[in-house]
A and B are shown apart, each in its own frame.
Chain A
Amino acid sequence: MPLEGPARIVSELTSRGYNAEREAVTKIASADDSRAVLERVIESLPEGALVVTTDHVDAALDGSQLTGPSSDRSGDSTDAAAQSAASPSTTDPSVSTGESSPNSTHEVGPSPVETEGSSSVADRSVDPDLRSLEISNDMTGASTGTGEYSDFVSVFRDRLDRLGSKLRSRVNHRPATAIESMPGGEEVAMVGLVNDVRSTASGHWLVELEDATGTFPWLVMKDREYVDLVDELLCDEVLAMEGTLADDSGIAFVDSMHFPDVPRTHEPSTADRPVQAALISDVHVGSQEFMADAWNRFADWLHTEAGERVEYLLLAGDMVEGVGVYPDQDEELDIVDIYEQYEAFNEHLKRVPGDLEIVMIPGNHDAVRLAEPQPGFDEELREIMSAHDPRIVSNPSMVTIEGVSVLMYHGVSLDEVIAELPEEKASYDEPHRAMYQLLKKRHVAPQFGGHTRLAPEEQDYLAIDEVPDIFHTGHVHKLGFGKYHNVLAINSGCWQAQTDFQKSVNIDPDAGYAPIVDLDTLDVTVQKFS
Chain B
Amino acid sequence: MREADRQYFQRLESQLDEAFDVAERAKEGSLDPEPEVEIPVAKDMADRVENILGIEGVAERVRELEGQMSREEAALELAKDFAEGEVGDYETKAGKVEGAVRTAVALLTEGVVAAPIEGIDKVELLENDDGTEFVNVYYAGPIRSAGGTAQALSVLVADYTRALVGIEQYEPRQEEIERYAEEIGLYDKETGLQYTPKSKETKFIAKHMPIMLDGEATGDEEVSGFRDLERVDTNSARGGMCLVMAEGIALKAPKIQRYTRNLDEVDWPWLQDLIDGNYGGDDAAEADEDDGDDGDEEAESADDADEEAAAGDDPDADESAGPPRVDESTKFLRDLIAGRPVFSHPCAEGGFRLRYGRARNHGFATAGVHPAAMHLVDDFLATGTQIKTERPGKAAGVVPVDSIEGPTVKLANGDVRRIDDPEDALEIRNGVEKILDLGEYLVNYGEFVENNHPLAPASYTYEWWVQDLEAAGADVQALEDDPHVDLEFPTADRALEWATEYDAPLHPEYTYLWHDLSVDSFCSLAETVADGRVTDDGETLVIDHTDVVRDALETIVIEHRQREDRLEIDDWNPFVRTLGFEIRHTATDGASVQGSDPGGRVVELERTWTDDDLSERARNWGHEEVGENAIEAVNEVAPFAVRERAPTRIGNRMGRPEKSERRDLSPPVHTLFPIGEAGGAQRDVAKAAKHAETMSDTPGVVEIQVGRKRCENCDSETFKNRCPDCDERTTPDYRCPDCDQRVDPDEAGRVECDRCEVEATCVETREIDVHEEYRDALESVGERENAFEILKGVKGLSSTTKTPEPIEKGILRAKHDVSSFKDGTVRYDMTDLPVTSVRASELDVDVGQLQALGYEEDVHGEPLTHEDQLVELKVQDIVLSDGAAEHMLQTADFIDDLLEQYYGLDPFYELDDRQDLVGELVFGMAPHTSAATVGRVIGFTSAAVGYAHPYFHAAKRRNCDGDEDCVMLLMDGLLNFSISFLPDKRGGRMDAPLVMSSRIDPAEIDDEAHNMDIVSQYPREFYLATREQADPEDVDVQIAEDTLGTDGEYTGFEHTHDTTDIAMGPDLSAYKTLGSMMDKMDAQLELSRKLAAVDETDVAERVIEYHFLPDLIGNLRAFSRQETRCLDCGEKFRRMPLTGDCRECGGRVNLTVHKGSVNKYMQTAIQVAEEYDCRDYTKQRLEVLERSLESIFENDKNKQSGIEDFM
Contacts and interface: CB of A to CB of B under 8 A. Distances in A.
A68 B851 CA distance: 102
Nearest to A458: B1195
B1194 A146 contact: yes
Interface in A193-214: 193, 195-196, 210-214
A236 interface: yes
Given A338-B1184, A450-B1121, A142 B1139 contact: no
B1136 A453 contact: no
B225 A145 contact: no
B1121 A505 contact: no
B1195 A378 contact: no
B756 interface: no
B1150 interface: yes
Given A143-B1195, A323-B1177, A370-B1188, A453 B1121 contact: yes
B1136 A156 contact: yes
Interface stretch (B174-182, B211-219, B268-276): B174-182
Interface string A331-371: 00000111100000000000000000000000000011111
B1121 A449 contact: yes
B1140 interface: yes
Interface in B1048-1079: none
Given A369-B1191, A453-B1117, A153 B1184 contact: no
B1120 interface: yes
Contacts of B1140: 150, 153
B1139 A371 contact: no
Interface in B1115-1161: 1116-1117, 1119-1124, 1134-1140, 1143, 1149-1151, 1154-1155, 1158
B198 to A, nearest CB: 10
Contacts of B1177: 323-324, 330, 336-337
A97 interface: no
B224 A419 contact: yes
B1132 to A, nearest CB: 11
Contacts of B585: none
Contacts of B1121: 448-450, 452-454
A252 B1116 CA distance: 39
Interface residues of A, number: 56
A166 to B, nearest CB: 17
Contact of A449 (B181, B1122, B1139, B1184): B1122
Contacts of A147: 1119, 1154-1155, 1158, 1192-1193
A455 B1177 CA distance: 26
Nearest to B1188: A369
A77 interface: no
A264 interface: no
A146 B1195 CA distance: 6
Nearest to A454: B1120
Nearest to B1148: A149
A156 B1135 contact: yes
A192 B1154 CA distance: 27
A150 B181 CA distance: 43
Contacts of A504: 178, 181-182, 185, 199, 225
B1149 A210 contact: no
A141 interface: yes
B493 interface: no
Nearest to B222: A419
Contacts of A370: 1116-1117, 1120, 1188
A3 B1123 CA distance: 71
B10 interface: no
B1181 A152 contact: no
B1196 A337 contact: no
A449 B1135 contact: yes
B982 interface: no
Which label, helix, strand, loop or mixed, suits the secondary structure of the B interface? helix
A201 to B, nearest CB: 14
A368 B1136 contact: no
A157 interface: yes
B966 to A, nearest CB: 36
B1187 interface: yes
Contacts of A338: 1180, 1184
A211 B1138 CA distance: 6
Nearest to B175: A506
B1191 A375 contact: yes
B53 interface: no
B223 interface: yes
A235 B1123 CA distance: 14
Contacts, number: 141
Contacts of B1189: 369
A453 B1116 CA distance: 9
Pick the most buried of A143, A196, A235, A337: most chain B CB atoms within 10 A of its CB.
A143
A156 B1192 contact: no
Given A156-B1135, A368-B1191, A149 B1150 contact: yes
Contacts of B1188: 368-371
A507 B1136 contact: no
Interface string B855-868: 00000000000000
Interface in B606-634: none
B182 A323 contact: no
Interface string B792-819: 0000000000000000000000000000
A453 B1189 CA distance: 13
A160 B1138 CA distance: 9
A87 B466 CA distance: 91
Contacts of B1187: 367-369, 378
B1193 A505 contact: no
A371 B1120 contact: yes
Contacts of B1192: 143, 145, 147, 369, 371, 455
With most chain A CB atoms within 10 A of its CB, the pick from B1137, B1138, B1196 is B1138
Contacts of B224: 419, 505
B1149 A149 contact: yes
A323 B1197 CA distance: 28
Contacts of A503: 178
Nearest to A157: B1138
Contacts of A367: 1184, 1187
B850 to A, nearest CB: 55
Interface string A207-242: 000111111000000000000000000011000000
B279 interface: no
A449 B1149 contact: no
Nearest to B1134: A449
A146 B1192 CA distance: 6
Contacts of B1150: 149
A144 interface: yes
Contacts of A145: 1192, 1195
Interface in A473-530: 500, 503-507
A382 B1116 CA distance: 25
A212 B1141 CA distance: 10
B1176 A144 contact: no
A144 B1180 contact: no
Top 3 nearest A-B pairs by Cβ distance? A506-B225, A505-B225, A453-B1120
29 contacts: A143-B1192, A146-B1155, A146-B1194, A146-B1195, A149-B1136, A149-B1150, A152-B1136, A153-B1136, A193-B1135, A193-B1138, A215-B1143, A235-B1134, A323-B1180, A324-B1177, A324-B1184, A324-B1185, A338-B1184, A367-B1187, A368-B1188, A369-B1187, A371-B1188, A375-B1196, A448-B1135, A449-B1121, A455-B1120, A505-B223, A505-B224, A505-B225, A506-B175
Given A338-B1184, A369-B1191, A448-B1121, 18 more contacts: A143-B1194, A143-B1196, A145-B1192, A152-B1136, A192-B1138, A213-B1139, A235-B1134, A324-B1184, A324-B1185, A337-B1177, A368-B1191, A369-B1189, A375-B1191, A450-B1121, A453-B1117, A453-B1121, A504-B225, A506-B178
Interface of A: 141-150, 152-153, 156-157, 160, 192-193, 195-196, 210-215, 235-236, 322-324, 330, 336-339, 367-371, 375, 378, 419, 448-450, 452-455, 500, 503-507
